[in-house]
Amino acid sequence: MKPALVTRADWLVIVASLALLPWLYATFWSSDDTAADKVHIIVDGKELPPISLHQDRKLTIRGSIGTSTLQIEQGRIRFVHSPCQGQQCVHSGWLSHNGEFAACLPNRIALQLSGGAARFDTFIY
Amino acid sequence: MNLPGRHLLLLTLGLLLLTGCGAARQTRIHHSQLLSFGTLVDISLWDASPEQIENAERIIHDELHAMHHDWHAWQPGPLTETNQQLRGGEWFVCPPAILPLIVQAKQLYQRSGGLFNPAIGQLVALWGFHSDTLPKGPPPPKEAIASLVARKPGMDAIVIDGQRIRSTNPAVQLDFGAFAKGYAVDRIIEKLIANGIGNAIINAGGDLRAIGRHGDRPWRIGIRNPRGPGVLAGIELSGDESVFTSGDYERFFRYRGKRYHHIIDPRTGYPARGVTSVTVIHDNAATADAAATALFVAGPEEWHPIARRMGIKYVMVVDDKGRIHMNPAMARRIQFESEQKPEVVLSKPL
């Protein structure tokens, strides 16, 4: 008798692999994995080296009209203080997802988050 | 091949497929930001070459320069010169950087029933919004506002004869604040297409036009919550569409607990009331920009007939009570993000 082309053990592995697929999808492909891991800060048109969001700290950045304070905490970042009138940057609140951005235009400081899978390509407001 | 070896091969092949797709996905999207002349532009390009990326950034910078220099309402330049001549009422040769804006703005003024009215520059200046810093108040005297409104500045007072124009109403002073960004975004997209870029989002300070797609899926846009952190809703765009929002949170001041924003109702001379934000989707960015302002001024009760007159097919109005007014076609495209869905008022189809 010829040996079967696909043995029972082969079927077992194929079934096990298929069963594994949802887990693989959830782990490596899931669109929920949108948490950013670094922030890119642009001051007066020049980009600073990216900064990790995984180390809590406060950043003070000198812009065109004064000093803005940024806070990084638990993978998030926000403008705590800025010398602008409108305070739109401060009102933007915490940013934590890839692609999110905020800016203090009067002080010419902008930041954008990257890393993780982007759920949105850009944001309007 | 022994059994464990064959199984290992199967699994490895499967994993390789997954990693291969992931790597391809990451390298074909280009994201960058340009802070130029007071506008933050978020650029997304799919499948663009390094040369195309460099060209795109140059095009955007040049157009923002034109917007800032040629169309500035209070810093000396072609628009302030035009306004000076319009006051005199005589015929003059309109600067070439200004004429096409006037032509398009006149059409949009007509179609909006005068609610998009870039001729009210004097009113905007009276409120103190012709300054790089925001006004602190108090609001202007009501007599001054009433006197300007009574002089009825409107785009229909501008007469065009070839390259020459004149104004039949000396109260007409142009301010393209509700229009220039959309006009500039249209010009940027035209030039990107001419440079062979077919898939892009140009997001100029929260207003955008998107062309093409993000590979095999549409572009995905997040709409920020106008009254707090987080994302209010998501929307998908493909083909060629612009999304423009007018909001009372963009430029405003508070005086004695009351909020005064920069979107002035030309009928009353006061900031338009009843609406927090209006979002419009349309293929042309300049039209979307002007319509967002016109529908903001129209308010939660009157936006529908104005949108229909302007040929707008997708509208979302957030009123001052947090209710969301939408036409059914817009409602089908909006995916709310928060678990607590806001109160939605559906209008008749547009």
Residue A9 lies in a domain: no
Mean pLDDT of A107-121: 83
Domain count, chain A: 1
Of the candidates B321, B317, B322, the one whose C-alpha atom is nearest the C-alpha of residue B342 is B322
Task: In whole angstroms, give the CA distance from residue B224 to residue B196.
Answer: 31
The pLDDT value recorded for residue B22 is 40
Residue A106 lies in a domain: yes
Task: In whole angstroms, give the CA distance from residue A113 to residue A101.
Answer: 6
Asked if pLDDT for residue B186 goes beyond 50, the answer is yes
**Top-confidence residue, B345 or B3:** B345
Residue A75 lies in a domain: yes
pLDDT tens-digit profile of B75-103? 999 999 999 999 999 999 999 999 999 99
Q: Which residues contact A29 (CB under 8 A, 6 or more apart)?
A: B18, B22
Pairing of strands B200-204, B39-46: antiparallel
The pLDDT value recorded for residue B117 is 98
The pLDDT value recorded for residue B11 is 55
Residue-range definition of the domain harbouring residue A106? 38-114
Residue A11 lies in a domain: no
- Max mean pLDDT range (A7-16, A30-39, B164-173): B164-173
Locate CATH 1.10.3980.10 in chain B: 77-167
The pLDDT value recorded for residue B34 is 83
- Asked if the Cβ–Cβ distance from A124 to B22 is below 8 Å, we say no
Residue A3 lies in a domain: no
Residue A31 lies in a domain: no
**Top-confidence residue, B147 or A40:** B147
B26, B219, B220: best to mutate for the A interface, most A CBs within 10 A? B220
For chain B, say whether A44 makes contact (Cβ under 8 Å). Answer: yes
Residue B242 CA: distances (Å) to CA of A65, B141, B201? 33, 38, 9
Domain B218-350: which CATH number of 3.30.1490.20, 2.30.110.10, 3.40.50.300, 3.10.520.10: 3.10.520.10
pLDDT > 90 in chain B, percent: 73
Mean pLDDT of B167-175: 97
Residue A57 lies in a domain: yes
Asked if pLDDT for residue B19 goes beyond 80, the answer is no
- Asked if the Cβ–Cβ distance from B134 to A86 is below 8 Å, we say yes
pLDDT > 70 in chain B, percent: 90
Structure tokens given for B268: 């009353």
pLDDT tens-digit profile of B114-159? 999 999 999 999 999 998 888 888 999 999 999 999 999 999 999 9
**Top-confidence residue, B163 or B227:** B163
The pLDDT value recorded for residue B341 is 80
The pLDDT value recorded for residue B9 is 55
The pLDDT value recorded for residue A119 is 79
Nearest CA in chain B to A101: B42
In CATH, the architecture of B77-167 is Orthogonal Bundle (1.10)
B27 — pLDDT class (breaks 50, 70, 90): low
> What's the gap between Cα B122 and its chain centre?
22
Locate CATH 3.10.520.10 in chain B: 218-350
Enumerate the residues of chain A whose CB falls inside 8 A of the CB of residue B205.
Answer: 105
- Asked if the Cβ–Cβ distance from B134 to A88 is below 8 Å, we say no
Mean pLDDT of A18-41: 68
3-state secondary structure chain B: CCHHHHHHHHHHHHHHHHHHHHHHHHHCEEEEEEEECCEEEEEEEECCCHHHHHHHHHHHHHHHHHHHHHCCCCCCCHHHHHHHHHHHCCCEECCCCCHHHHHHHHHHHHHCCCCCCCCEHHHHHHCCCCCCCCCCCCCCCHHHHHHHHHCCCCHHHEEEECCEEEECCCCCECCCCCCHHHHHHHHHHHHHHHCCCCCEEEEECCEEEEEECECCECEEEEEECCCCCCEEEEEEECEEEEEEEEECCCCEEEECCEEEECCECCCCCCECCCEEEEEEEECCHHHHHHHHHHHHHHHHHHHHHHHHHHCCCEEEEEECCCCEEECHHHHHHCEECCCCCCCEEECCCC
The pLDDT value recorded for residue A21 is 74
Q: Look up the CATH number of the domain holding residue A91.
A: 2.60.320.10
Any idea which of B36-40, B124-128, B243-247 has the lowest mean pLDDT?
Answer: B36-40
For chain B, say whether A71 makes contact (Cβ under 8 Å). Answer: no
Mean pLDDT of B305-320: 97
Of the candidates B10, B6, B8, B57, the one whose C-alpha atom is nearest the C-alpha of residue B30 is B57
ipTM of the complex, rounded to two decimals? 0.82
- Asked if the Cβ–Cβ distance from A24 to B10 is below 8 Å, we say no
Task: In whole angstroms, give the CA distance from residue B4 to residue B220.
Answer: 43
**Top-confidence residue, B297 or A33:** B297
> Which residues, numbered 2 to 31 in chain A, qualify as contacts with chain B under a Cβ-Cβ cut-off of 8 Å?
7, 9-10, 13-14, 17, 21, 24, 28-29
